[in-house]
Amino acid sequence: MASSPPPRTFHVKSFGCQMNVYDGERMAELLTAEGMRAADDGAAADLVVLNTCHIREKATEKVYSDIGRIVKDGREVGAVPLIAVAGCVAQAEGEEIMTRAPSVRVVVGPQAYHRLPAMVAQAAAGGRATETDMPAEAKFAALPKRRKVGASAFLTVQEGCDKFCTYCVVPYTRGAELSRPFADLVSEARLLVEGGAREITLLGQNVNAWAGEDEKGRRVGLAGLAEELGKIEQLARIRYTTSHPADMDDALIEAHGSNPKLMPFLHLPVQSGSDRVLKAMNRSHTAESYLRILERVRAMRPDIALSGDFIVGFPGETEAEFAETLQIIAEARYAQAFSFKFSARPGTPAATMDGQIAAEVMDERLQRLQAALQRDSLAFNKASVGKRCHVLVERKGRHAGQWLGKSPWLQSVHFTGDAAMGDLVEVDLIEAGPNSMGGRLVARAAA
C-alpha cells in the first residue's frame, strides 16, 4: 500500500456511551500533542477516527455506513482521508473490519488507544495497524495531561465489567473490572478544574464498583472518592454514571445526603421488572431489592431525580412479565430513562436463547414502555415548576440572548439574560416540557 503524507488534521466521531465521549476526548488530546489540528468535520480532515459502540446492532452497522460515506465524500474531493476505527466494535471484530471495509487502515480497541499516534504513523507510511490488547493501566499512564475543557467534564474512574449479563458484550470488549488509582483521579480532577470544569461526571461501566486506597492508605469506595473531590474549591458539582444495583453500598447511599456537591441525580439501570427475566439476564437484583435501594436513596435525598435503563423483548419475555416492567416504572417514578428493544449480540448467551421475541411484538411493547416513561418524565418536570435552583451554563441557545444549561436534577434548562458559559446562575423554573425546562434568570453567580 502506498505511503501518504502524515496527517495534519483529524476528526474524532464518537458513538454510544459517555465513556466513549471521554475516550474520544483523550484520543483528540493524543493527536493534538503530536502537532495535529482538529477539523470541524470529517470531510475536512486528513484523519478520521470512528470511536465505536458495540451495544446495539444498528450502532455497529452505522459504523460501516459511515465508512462508506467517508470514502465516497473523499473521492468526490479527490482525497480519501486515513480512516481509523476505535472503540468496542474495533475490539470485537478486529482485523475483520479491514476485510469488510478495506479503506480502514487502523483498528484499535478501547484499552489500547494510547498507541493511536504510532499506529497512524505506521498507516501513513503505507502499512496497516491493528491493536486490541487490554493493558488498561498502561493506557492511562501513557495519556497526556488534561488541557482546557468545558464547564462540564467526564472523568473515567473505572473500566470493564465482571457481571456478565447475558445480553451484554462489555466484558468481552472492555475487559475485567479495573479501578484507576485514587491519587491519579484526584490529580486529573484538579487539572480538569484548572482547565475550566465546574462539574465532573465520574464514569465507569460499573462506576460504583470503583475502589481504591486514599492518601492515608485507607480503603475507600466511590463515596470516599467523591468526598475527596468535593474538597476542590472551584469544583461545584459531582455526578457519576453508570451504576449497578449490586454495588450501591451504604456509604454511597448515605453520600447522597451528606455530600453537598453530589448532585441529586442517580442513574441506576434495572432492565426489567420481572424477577424471572432478571435471573435469565444474570442480573443479581430482584424487582423488590431494586425498589428498596431507591427507597433508601430517596430517604437520604427526597428530591433526587431517578433514571434507569430498560430492555424490552428479552428472550422468553411474556406479556405478563412485560406488565411487571410497567409496574416497576410506575413505582419508581423516573425523571428520565433509556429504553431499548433486545438486540442479539454475537457471542452473548442471550443471542441463542430459546423464545426470541418477534420484532413487531418488541416494537409494540417499546411504544407502551416509552409512553409510561415520558408520562413520568413530564410529571417530574411539572413538579419542578416553581423551584429556584442553580443552573450550570453550558452553551448558547438558538435565540438571541438565550442560554442552555443543566439543573441539579440534570434537566436541560433554557433562559435569557446576562450569563456566560461556565457560570452557575440562579434560575426560577417557570415552564415544563417533556425534555426541558424554561427558566427565568434571578442572579448571575460569582465565578
Q: Tell me: the pLDDT tens digits for 154-184? A: 999 999 999 999 999 999 888 889 999 999 9
pLDDT of residue 122: 94
Give the pLDDT confidence of 412-442 residue by residue, as tens digits: 999 999 999 999 999 999 999 999 999 999 9
Type of residue at 27: M
Longest CA span, the chain = 65
d(CA 18, CA 30): 19
pLDDT of residue 143: 87
- Whether pLDDT at 42 is above 80: no
- Whether pLDDT at 6 is above 90: no
Residues 403 and 415 sit within 8 Å (Cβ to Cβ): yes
pLDDT of residue 2: 60
Location of C-alpha cell 415520558: 374
pLDDT of residue 138: 73
Highest mean pLDDT among 2-6, 90-94, 202-206: 202-206
Exposure of 161 by Cβ count < 10 A (0-12 exposed, 13-18 middle, 19+ buried)? Answer: buried
- Whether pLDDT at 192 is above 60: yes
Global pTM reads 0.89
Contacts of 18 (CB under 8 A, 6+ apart): 154, 201, 203, 241
d(CA 85, CA 20): 13
Whole-number average pLDDT of the chain: 93
d(CA 158, CA 147): 21
- Whether pLDDT at 32 is above 80: yes
For residue 446, CA distances in Å to 177, 262, 313, 387 come to 40, 20, 50, 21
Say which range, 38-52, 104-118, 148-162, 320-334, has the weakest mean pLDDT: 38-52
Radius of gyration of the chain (CA): 22
Cell of 204: 465507569
- Preceding peptide of 242 cis, ω within 30°: yes
Give the pLDDT confidence of 337-365 residue by residue, as tens digits: 999 999 998 889 999 999 999 999 999 99
Cell of 263: 448532585
Q: Go through 46-76 and write b for each residue having 16 or more CB atoms within 10 A of its CB, e for each that does not.
A: bbbbbbbbbbeeebbebbbebbeebbebbee
